[in-house]
Every structure is written in structure tokens, then in C-alpha cells.
């Protein structure tokens, strides 16, 4: 269903990706640089250099009258805002409209940024486990008492619930937090025993997470487990609940799907999820769930699977939309590589679709 379209190389490993508008791709590297590619010409049109630390996350947002998106960039222990629509081809940290140091010590690095639905706040997660927010109207930084016991790897606002954050970390825990009250609403651990449990070389650190437009949450671990939570999904037959029920383990499926760490994942539709391992096995699933069935019937349908080319030795990040998969990381010679895979619209679906029954833990897990 997908074929490789383009391969791009950079001086340093790719550590973050984000779409601007349809033909602009923002690519950040671990040497503190960021490049904006025009995919209609495959040329770099803007760049930022000499940022303090690895570019770990990029949030693009539209400003009226401009085609080039502005960007909030997480780098090292800082978050900086850049206006890319300027005559200057290459910017540095001195050109940032705003820079905030949110990490408390030198190695307290920012891992991910998220923008809420009404664009009033950013959320961030730090290596110290701290979860924080930035009020975009005032620039005020708030660090929550609710935190992880280890690295906070992922943060996301929950759809149109502008005050709700879901976060995940290397403490194997996923948390649902009301950041306006600094209150923990729910939490679940990803170290639930699996039926096929055996010896694993890695703990179930949560390394990646994605939230679908309909409220389905997916999380991937260092030992190749995939957890999918259907409890917060918007359904036509139900009214919007006052409290998001996305971490309800009675509506969760958990299974081992990979032999290595699941380092990135992304929804391209309400129940279409793409994941990748560190070594570049890319798998796209359709998530099937019937809440009316006895005990909740959950299935994974594998729609497609592929491998990155030999140019990419280690995957760090991935970006997915309805027609493309962009996957980036490091080559064997420690340079940067990202690949663009394009969906073949006229390709027939596989004759046989892989279906896997899923272990659903009970609510006490």
C-alpha cells in the first residue's frame, strides 16, 4: 500500500518532524538545527541553526497572511518560538520571538510538546518526569505537582477538552490530568502481565503515544507492547461525558506486537494507527472494537507492513497523514536520514488481512 518516494539526508540525525501546510515539512536534528523543506521542489526553504540542544519536538501553527507556519521548537531544556516567514534564510536562537528555559537542570531535557484545541496552552514533558504548561497569552510557565517517577516521554492534550492532558513515561505509567486543578483523574500501568509473557530484555517503558481524532489512545513500549484504550472514544450513540474515560482498563487491549521498542506511532484516521520500531519495521493497523459485544470484542487488523531502506539504521521519529508516512532517524555513519513513503491509492487491499485476538485486562489490572 505504500512505496518509498524520496530519501533526504542531513548532517545530523533526525530527531523531530512536523508538517507545516501540505507541502512544507519541518525536520529537526540532534545538533540543534531545523530545516523547512518544500516538498513540491524537495528544497530547503528556511533553516534554524545553533539551538541549545537536540530538537525534540516541533509545533507548527498558522498565522494570518502567511504560508510559512510559525513554530514552537523544543530544544535541549528550552522551548522557543520562531517566525519562519521572514527574509532571513537562516535563523539562530537570537532570532526567536520568545525563549523559555523549562528544564530545571542542564540534563532536564524537553521530550514532547502538545498544543491544546483552543491554542491557549502548550504542554511539555521533561526528563525529570515533570509535566508543565505554557500559557501562550501570558507566557507563564506552570509545572504540575502531578508528575512521572522517571522520564516523561509523551504528552498530549485531549481533543476538544482543553484542560485535560494525557502523559506517559518511563515509569510505565500513563496519566490523565486536569492541568487547571493539577489533579490526577486516572492512571494505568503498562506492565500488566500478558498471556504470552516471557523473558524481556527491556521493561515496558512507554516510549510513544498517539491520540486519535475520535479519542482512542494508543501507547507503545520499549519491549514491543501496544496498548489501545477505547474508553474515551466519541461514539454517535453516546453524549459527550463530563469526564474523559480514556484510561478505563475495561475498554483496553494490550498485546506484544513487535520484537523491539515501539519508538513512534501516529493515527491517520479515527481507527487507523501506524507504528514503527527502532529498527524500522513499519506496521499499519485498523483497530476494531465493539463495545456491545460480550467483554468488548477487540481486534487488530494488519493492513500493511514494510521496512525502512538500508539508508536508515535507527528510527527516532515518524509523521503520518492520510497519504504519507515520513520516518526519520540515523544512518550507519551517524548522519541524518528521513524517508517519505507514499500511499498507492489504486493498490488493492491485501487478499488476506491479518487479525489478532487481543488480551483485554480486567478493570483491576
DSSP secondary structure string, 236-267?
TTSPPPSS--TT-GGGEEEEE--SS-EEEEEE
Query: Could you tell me the three cell numbers for 238?
Result: 453516546
**What is the residue-averaged pLDDT of the chain?**
90
| Domain regions of the chain by residue span | 6-98
Indicate the SS3 state at residue 154. Answer: strand
Distance of alpha carbon 228 from alpha carbon 363, whole angstroms: 14
The pLDDT, as a whole number, for residue 359 is 45
The pLDDT, as a whole number, for residue 196 is 52
Mean pLDDT of 284-307: 86
Mean pLDDT of 69-78: 97
Distance of alpha carbon 56 from alpha carbon 152, whole angstroms: 13
The pLDDT, as a whole number, for residue 361 is 45
Cβ neighbours, 10 Å, residue 286 = 15
Mean pLDDT of 180-191: 94
Query: Torsion angle of alpha carbons 129, 130, 136, 140, nearest 10°?
Result: -160
Mean pLDDT of 146-157: 97
The model's pLDDT over 320-329, given as tens digits with 9 standing for 90+, comes to 999 999 999 9
The pLDDT, as a whole number, for residue 9 is 97
The pLDDT, as a whole number, for residue 24 is 96
Q: What is the CA radius of gyration of the chain?
A: 20
Mean pLDDT of 235-254: 84
- Mean pLDDT is lowest, of 40-44, 219-223, 351-355, for 351-355
Report pTM. 0.91
Ramachandran quadrant class, 351 (left: phi over 0; alpha: psi -120 to 50; beta: rest): alpha
Query: Could you tell me the three cell numbers for 17?
Result: 518532524
Distance of alpha carbon 265 from alpha carbon 219, whole angstroms: 8
User: Who's near 194: CB < 8 A, 6+ residues apart?
Assistant: 225, 254, 255, 256, 359
The model's pLDDT over 231-241, given as tens digits with 9 standing for 90+, comes to 999 876 667 77
CATH classification number, 6-98, choose in 4.10.320.10, 3.40.190.80, 2.60.120.280, 2.40.128.630: 2.40.128.630
The pLDDT, as a whole number, for residue 159 is 85
DSSP 67: S
Q: How confident is the model at residue 264 (pLDDT cuts 50, 70, 90)?
A: very high
Ramachandran quadrant class, 321 (left: phi over 0; alpha: psi -120 to 50; beta: rest): beta
> How many Å separate Cα 272 from the centre of its chain?
14
Q: How confident is the model at residue 172 (pLDDT cuts 50, 70, 90)?
A: very high
Per the CB < 8 A criterion, the answer to whether 182 and 162 are in contact is no
The pLDDT, as a whole number, for residue 295 is 60
Residue 293: is its pLDDT beyond 50?
yes
104-108, 280-284, 287-291 — most confident range:
280-284
Distance of alpha carbon 24 from alpha carbon 16, whole angstroms: 14
CA distances 233 to 38, 290, 302, Å, are 35, 12, 21
Return phi, psi of residue 251, to 5°.
-120, 40
The pLDDT, as a whole number, for residue 294 is 65
Which residue is it, cell 517517577? Answer: 149
**Residue of higher predicted confidence among 276 and 21:** 276
Q: How confident is the model at residue 356 (pLDDT cuts 50, 70, 90)?
A: very low
Return phi, psi of residue 350, to 5°.
-55, 145
Q: DSSP letters of 196-241?
A: T----SS---EEEEEE-TTS-EEEEETTSEEEEE-TT---TTSPPP
The model's pLDDT over 101-150, given as tens digits with 9 standing for 90+, comes to 999 899 999 999 999 988 999 999 999 999 999 999 999 999 999 999 99
Distance of alpha carbon 137 from alpha carbon 65, whole angstroms: 20
pLDDT over 90 percentage in the chain: 79
Amino acid at each position: 500500500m505504500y512505496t518509498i518516494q524520496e530519501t533526504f539526508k542531513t548532517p545530523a540525525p533526525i530527531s523531530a518532524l512536523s508538517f507545516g501546510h501540505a507541502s512544507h515539512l519541518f525536520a529537526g536534528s540532534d545538533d540543534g538545527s531545523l530545516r523547512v523543506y518544500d516538498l513540491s521542489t524537495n528544497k530547503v526553504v528556511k533553516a534554524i541553526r545553533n539551538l541549545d540542544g537536540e530538537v525534540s519536538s516541533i509545533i507548527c501553527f498558522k498565522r494570518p497572511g502567511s504560508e510559512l507556519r510559525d513554530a514552537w521548537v523544543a530544544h535541549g531544556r528550552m522551548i522557543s518560538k520562531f517566525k519562519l516567514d521572514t527574509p532571513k534564510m537562516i535563523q539562530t536562537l537570537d532570532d526567536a520571538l520568545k525563549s523559555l528555559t523549562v528544564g530545571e537542570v542542564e540534563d532536564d531535557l524537553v521530550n514532547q510538546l502538545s498544543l491544546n484545541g483552543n491554542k491557549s496552552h502548550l504542554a511539555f514533558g521533561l526528563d525529570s518526569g515533570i509535566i508543565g504548561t505554557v500559557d501562550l497569552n501570558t507566557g507563564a510557565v506552570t509545572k504540575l505537582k502531578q508528575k512521572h517517577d522517571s522520564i516523561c516521554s509523551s504528552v498530549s492534550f485531549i481533543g476538544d477538552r482543553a484542560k485535560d492532558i494525557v502523559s506517559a513515561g518511563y515509569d510505565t505509567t500513563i496519566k490523565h490530568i486536569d492541568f487547571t486543578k493539577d489533579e490526577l483523574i486516572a492512571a494505568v500501568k503498562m506492565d500488566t502481565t500478558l498471556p504470552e509473557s516471557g523473558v524481556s530484555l527491556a521493561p515496558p517503558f512507554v516510549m510513544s503515544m498517539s491520540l486519535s481524532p475520535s479519542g482512542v489512545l494508543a501507547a507503545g513500549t520499549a519491549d514491543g507492547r501496544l496498548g489501545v484504550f477505547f474508553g474515551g472514544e466519541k461514539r454517535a450513540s453516546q453524549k459527550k461525558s463530563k469526564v474523559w474515560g480514556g484510561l478505563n482498563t475495561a475498554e483496553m487491549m494490550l498485546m506484544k506486537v513487535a520484537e523491539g521498542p515501539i519508538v513512534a506511532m501516529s493515527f491517520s484516521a479515527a481507527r487507523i494507527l501506524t507504528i514503527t520500531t527502532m529498527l524500522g519495521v513499519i506496521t499499519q493497523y485498523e483497530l476494531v472494537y465493539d463495545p456491545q459485544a460480550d467483554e468488548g470484542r477487540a481486534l487488530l487488523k494488519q493492513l500493511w507492513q514494510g521496512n525502512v531502506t538500508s539508508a536508515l539504521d535507527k528510527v527516532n521519529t515518524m509523521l503520518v497523514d492520510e497519504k504519507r508516512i515520513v520516518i526519520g532517524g540515523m544512518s550507519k555513519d551517524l548522519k541524518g536520514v528521513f524517508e517519505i513513503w507514499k500511499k498507492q491509492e489504486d493498490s488493492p487491499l491485501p487478499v488476506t488481512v491479518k487479525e489478532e485476538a487481543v488480551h483485554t485486562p480486567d478493570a483491576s489490572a
